[in-house]
Amino acid sequence: MAGIRKTVAHSVSEMDKLRPLWNELLRHCPKTMFQRFAWNRLAAQMFRDRFSPMVCAVESDNGAAIIPAALNREANWLELLGETLFDYRSVLHAGDRNLLHVAWEMLEALDAPLWLIAMEEEEAKTTWSDFSPVEYARAPWVDASKITAEQFRHAHARAARQLRRLHKAGVSLHQYSGAEHSMLERIYRLKGDQFPGDINNVFRDQQRRGFMVAIAAAEAENCRVLTLEDAVHSVVAALVTFADGGMRRFYTTYFNPDWAVYSPGVALLFEATALALEQGFSCDYMTGEYPYKLRFANASRRLYRIDLSASEFVGIVRRQVARRAA
């Protein structure tokens, strides 16, 4: 293809040069918060000991594309930036679709497997259709167009009673912004210690905790933290959320097991959902159909994953090239 410009950013400083194009693409093709430049730049910076950025950008007069790729040095596979902390993965693209194929071709020479978790159904069936995505999980959510805050509170009277029981026990609701570092640090330290022997507890890892504290600060008022605290301000339950367009994403939940008889995590999820609905937000409970989420959700979205060997990935990219040439 003539008249195209290609760039591969291998570092944060090289990514910075792509910021104007990145933000322009997001204006043309809105995605989730996980595609924001700030999130991806911070991931590249904080996890540079684990991942080599391979951010491929292609521009022409007919459009542009960015693949925020990274090479996982331990697993030796390609994925997208975000380590284990990004739920909804995608590329950025506007205009000529062939430009996205050119960007994938730039990664073919690595001869590495491609591994991605997870993308939303619409993305899987359009942007990622060539890559044979398979269903991975579902994300329960509360669709604000189907229920009001008042209806939600009425439908879940049991959770409201649990919250009243907690109030009678001296527990009160508090709210913070993402800029309040000390509370974020405290919550993620508690989260990391909650199940210390569980390999699936991603926040045992200090760098991941550090990332969340830093991105919460960057999001500032877009990040709202809700806690239930006792009379001496010990955290009984906590919820870290992010505003993302018309959605409030419920990213991290924590509860103190000493208060388990009161189900404080469920009570806080209930109250946070009702408050978000009052503000006009739908509520995304994120990946995983856990009972405590399903109790309140009135909808769910399918999520997909991609797991391709190096030869499978190369074959797909070469078929894209052949279709372009035909």
Q: CATH no. for residue 107?
A: 3.40.630
Residue 106 lies in domain:
5-137+304-325
Say what the alpha-carbon torsion angle 270, 274, 275, 276 is, to the nearest 10 degrees: 100
Alpha carbon 15 to chain centroid, angstroms: 20
Asked if pLDDT for residue 23 goes beyond 60, the answer is: yes
**Confidence (pLDDT) at 325:** 74
Q: Using one digit for the tens of pLDDT, what is the confidence trace for 41-100? A: 999 999 999 999 999 999 999 999 999 999 999 999 999 999 999 999 999 999 999 999
Confidence of residue 128 (pLDDT cuts 50, 70, 90): very high
**Do 13 and 123 fall within a single domain?**
yes
DSSP state letters, 110-179:
T---EEEEEEEHHHHHTTTGGG--EEEEEEEEE-TTT--HHHHHHHTHHHHHHHHHHHHTT-EEEEEETT
**Do 104 and 214 fall within a single domain?**
no
**Do 165 and 33 fall within a single domain?**
no
* HSE, side-chain direction, 13 A CA sphere, residue 116: 30
Distance, in Å, from the CA atom of 88 to the CA atom of 74, rounded to the nearest integer, reads 22
| Count of other CB atoms within 10 angstroms of residue 88 | 23
Distance, in Å, from the CA atom of 149 to the CA atom of 165, rounded to the nearest integer, reads 21
Contact status, residue 297 vs residue 140, Cβ threshold 8 Å: yes
**Do 167 and 31 fall within a single domain?**
no
**H-helix or E-strand spanning residue 304:** strand 299-308
Distance, in Å, from the CA atom of 209 to the CA atom of 218, rounded to the nearest integer, reads 14
**Do 87 and 192 fall within a single domain?**
no
**Do 116 and 202 fall within a single domain?**
no
Tokens 């994938």, residue?
104
Distances (CA, A) of 121 to 233, 301, 316: 42, 7, 20
**Do 124 and 159 fall within a single domain?**
no
For 84, the token pair is: 């284990």
Confidence of residue 1 (pLDDT cuts 50, 70, 90): low
| Count of other CB atoms within 10 angstroms of residue 132 | 13
**Do 124 and 198 fall within a single domain?**
no
Burial of 257 per CB tally in 10 Å (0-12, 13-18, 19+): exposed
Confidence of residue 109 (pLDDT cuts 50, 70, 90): confident
SS3 label, residue 227 = strand
Confidence of residue 196 (pLDDT cuts 50, 70, 90): confident
pTM: 0.94
Q: Using one digit for the tens of pLDDT, what is the confidence trace for 223-242? A: 999 999 999 999 999 999 99
Q: What CATH number does the domain containing 170 carry? A: 3.40.630.30
For 264, the token pair is: 């404080």
Distance, in Å, from the CA atom of 240 to the CA atom of 251, rounded to the nearest integer, reads 6
**Do 105 and 162 fall within a single domain?**
no
**Do 308 and 272 fall within a single domain?**
no
Name the domain count of the chain.
2
Distance, in Å, from the CA atom of 270 to the CA atom of 80, rounded to the nearest integer, reads 33
- Nearest CA among 140, 137, 136 for reference residue 305: 136
**Do 184 and 285 fall within a single domain?**
yes
**Confidence (pLDDT) at 306:** 97
**Do 111 and 182 fall within a single domain?**
no
